[in-house]
Structures are given as structure tokens and as C-alpha cells.
Amino acid sequence: MTTDATQIANYYCVSHIAAATIPCSLLNNILSRMYQGQPLTQHAMEYLQKQKLHSLHRLACGAITYEAYIAGLDSTDLNEHETAKALNQAREEELRARAAHYASRPIRQTTPKVDVETARKLRRQREREETALVLRAQNARQAEWKLQRERNRELAAANYQSLANTSGYNDPTPQELARYYHLEHIAAEASLTLLLQALFHGSPIADSEMNRLRTDGPEVLYRLASGQSTLESYTPVARAVEAEALIRIARAHDQALYSKYGISLKDDSLRPRMTQLLKQIEDGTRLSKNDWEWLGTLGKECITPLLRKAYHQLEAIFYETEYQRAKDPWNAVNACGHYRKSDEPGKALKLIDGISQDRLNQPKIQSAVLTTRGGALRDLYRPHEAIQAGERAHTLMPKDYRPCTLLGAVHMEQRNFENGHTWYEKARALGAPEPGIDSELRSIFQKLDASGREAMKRFLLAQNPVRYSWLNDVQKAATRKKIPHTG
């Protein structure tokens, strides 16, 4: 053990921790860097936390001053430090005495026994004196803490009495108490709430509760309750600890949101807005049109299947609520469209079948309802009923391309490629966007089994090898779900 390591351990009052006095140990290196005013690595900071050296960690972070660190040390730790310090000093004195003795001893001359015995008695006397000094200092410190604890209690009681005499006053809730003592980062257990109430009221705290607080509670709160700090000195330290903890909690919560929706950000500049949108969705609040457009452009990498499903679920709930409020069937149609996109065709069918017939007094809304119903039936693998609904919708609105795209999709899925192609061509002629048709055909192609994909590929290439040239580039990858072939 070197003098330097011992001095630094004494400076931070950690002589009772063996690693602190061992040169080149991790803790000794950390203390040396702190002593020299050098910054610590992240690994060193984590080590202090793992070793539960919370006061040293806050000192290293700059959350407290050295004076505040010393003032806030626990009495038990100080006792152990002072005892270890005295023992270390006694050992060093003994080593120095031996070194001096052997340096001055004549060669081959035996040291008189009386000199050794005298040195031993002197050493023991010094140890007794140092121990007595340590005990007196401990007793004085504990007496001071006891006095401050009583002062804290009296001030709290006076403050509470003043508040209680105010008209309309109500005792603070557990959440308000946690906020007052800057402990919002700690789960409000019943035992902690009772202790905070006692502190707030200025009531005495039993020794058993103090012992439990010392071992299981927040260290900063124990120092306040034991009189090692005042409310004024407690507040800035508690606020700093709380702020640091809340930041960690918020980061963990945000990361859990990203994991929940399967999002892995590559562009960190998107994080602030993306985090806000995820919190909004998690709270059940619809995204604005601008937010959804942003996701579709700048935030495109964030749109995962899980996020898309959550978005459409919120939209479906909104439009269904609007339908129930005003009974406008168009809201039901919109809700069903979003239910389908969130993989809930059963809800869509139930809602669309519940529309009162007296609300369907125009061909346009009748056709829209039938087309929407046919789409839900298609999703539920009831193709024949879907075709019937689509044909009735087309009869009502022969110039609307939407029934045609529905019929084209259902026939293609059933491998009725000729009928499917005919309906898609009618849809094109009526103004259906060509990219939308091609996207639907790609989706149908990927969901078919191997034989179905090969048959569809041959048919479409025979119709138009240029328009459907993308089929030559499609890999026969594993499909997400197969479309049943009902014949």
C-alpha cells in the first residue's frame, strides 16, 4: 500500500473499502483521476453505480460539491472509514519505526528487547488515542445530526400547521408528496408514502422505519430524515438525482415504444418528431394529415407493419365513432376501409352490415357500401359472396371503377385470370390509377402459391409483356400468407 493511495482514500473517506487503498486497482485509479480533476470514462461511472458508491458517483458527475459530499456521508460509513484510517496509520507508523530501527541498528547487533516492547506500548497508546478521537468525533457528529433532525421536524410541523389552517386545504396526495420531495422517479410504495407524510407533517419517525429507509430507501431522503441535511440542502441534490433518473426512465420508455412498433432508426435526426408521434399513437390520439404525410416521405423508414396497423386502427375507431354519432354511412365506409387495412375485416363486415337501410337512399352510397362489404368478404376468404357484392355495386354505379378493381382482384386470387384481367381493364378505362392496379397485382402474385404464381405470370405476360415485365424480376420468395383456392 503506497502513501499516495492511502492519502487519496482518506481524502474521500473510503479507507474502509479495501480496493480504494490498493494501488492500480480500478477504484484506486478512479479516485486518483477524480483527485487530479480528470474526467471519468463511462465504464468508471457505471462501476461506481454498480458498487453502490452513489455519493462518489454524484460527486464525479458534478451534481454535488466536495463539501456537500463530505457533509452527506453516512455515519456508519464514516465510522468504518475512521477505524480503517486509524489502523492504516498505526501500521504505517509501525513500518516507519521498524525501518528507522533497522537503519540505525549496528551490524550483527541484537536489538534490546526492551526497545521493541517500548515501541509496542507506544503504538498501542497511539491507537487508543486515535480511536478515542474517532469516537468523540462520531459522537459529536451524531449529536449534531440528532439536533438537526429535531430542527427539521419542528420546521416541517410549523409549515404543515400553517397550511392546515388555510381555508380549503387538503393534504397532498402520494403523487404530490413525491413531487414535493423530488421523488417522482420512484414507484410510490405505501411504506414510502407513509414516511413522506410523516416528514411533511413533522411527525416522529420510528427507528425501525429509519433503518428501513437507510437500507432500502433513497439515500438522499435518508440524510434528510436523519438530520444529516436540511430541506434547503436536500432539495438541489434530490432535484439533480431525480432529473438524472427521469432522463433514464424516459429513454427506456422511448426505446420500449420503438421496440413495440418494430422501428429501428438509421437517421437520428428523425428521432424527436418520431418519438412524439409514437407517444401520440400510444395515447390513442390520431395523427394529423401533415404527420401522416411526413411519415410517408421524410419518415418513410419508420413506417413498419405494426405502426401502419396502429395508425389505421385509430382512424377506424375515429370514423366508427363519427358514424355512431351522426349515422352518416360514409363514415362507416371510411371506418371499414381502415379496419381492413388494420387486418380486422370481421369488424368491418359487422359495421357495414349494421348500417340502417333507410340511410342508403342513393345509388352512390349503396354501391360504396356493397364494394366495401365485398372487400371485407374478400379478406375473410369468402370469394363468391365478394363477387356477388361487387357485381351488384357495379350495376348500381357502372361508371365507378372501384367495384371493377374489387372484382378483378377476387377473380385473380381465384385463378380466374381471364375474368380478373377483363375487370381490371374495365377499371383502367374508367380511370383507375394504373400504379394502384399494378401494386394490387403484385400483392396478389406474392400471396399465391408457386403454381398459382407461375400460371398468373404466363397469363399476364401473354396479355402485355411490356406492362407486366416486372413479373420477370420477381423472386419466388416465401409468402406471408396463402390465398385459399376455392375453385
Helix ranges restricted to H, 165-189: 174-180
The CA distance from 133 to 428, in Å, is 98
pLDDT tens sequence across 85-129? 877 777 777 777 776 766 665 555 554 555 788 888 888 888 888
Position 365 scores a pLDDT of 96
Pair 390, 410: CB distance under 8 Å: yes
Measured CA angle at 127 (ends 122, 128), to 5 deg: 100
Sorted by where each starts, the structural domains of the chain and their CATH numbers stand as 3-103+114-156 (no CATH), 174-260 (no CATH), 362-487 (1.25.40.10)
Pair 173, 180: CB distance under 8 Å: no
Give CA separation, 411 vs 386, 387, 396, 407, in Å: 10, 8, 20, 6
Q: How many CB atoms lie within 10 A of CB 307?
A: 20
> Which of 25, 14, 140, 34 has its CA nearest to residue 77?
14
Residue 275: pLDDT band with limits 50, 70, 90: very high
pLDDT tens sequence across 365-419? 999 999 999 999 999 999 999 999 999 999 999 999 999 999 999 999 999 999 9
pLDDT tens sequence across 139-153? 888 888 889 999 999
Position 49 scores a pLDDT of 86
Helix ranges restricted to H, 26-112: 26-35, 42-50, 54-61, 66-71, 75-104
The CA distance from 36 to 16, in Å, is 21
What's the CA dihedral at 399, 403, 405, 411 to 10 degrees? -130
Buried residues in 333-367 as b, exposed as e (16+ CB within 10 A): bbbbbbbbbbebbebbbebbeebeeeebeeeebbb
How many CA atoms lie within 13 Å of 242's alpha carbon, on the beta-carbon side?
18
Q: How many CB atoms lie within 10 A of CB 185?
A: 17
And the C-alpha cell for 298?
421524410
Mean pLDDT value of segment 326-353: 96
Pair 115, 101: CB distance under 8 Å: yes
> Which of 423, 479, 419 has its CA nearest to residue 452?
479
And the C-alpha cell for 6?
492511502
Query: Out of 17-21, 184-188, 320-324, which region has the weakest mean confidence (pLDDT)?
Result: 184-188
| Mean pLDDT taken over the chain | 88
Whole-model pTM: value is 0.63
What are the backbone angles phi and psi of residue 86, rounded to the nearest 5°?
A: -60, -45
What is the SS3 assignment for 232-297? HHHHHHHHHHHHHHHHHHHHHHHHHHHHHCCCCCCCHHHHHHHHHHHHHHHCCCCCCHHHHHHHHC
Whether 476 shows a pLDDT value over 50: the answer reads no
SS3 state of residue 41? coil
The set of residues, in sequence order, having a beta carbon less than 8 Å from that of 113 and lying 6+ positions away, is none
Burial (Cβ within 10 Å: 0-12, 13-18, ≥19) of residue 372: buried
Which of the two residues, 62 and 241, has the higher pLDDT score? 241
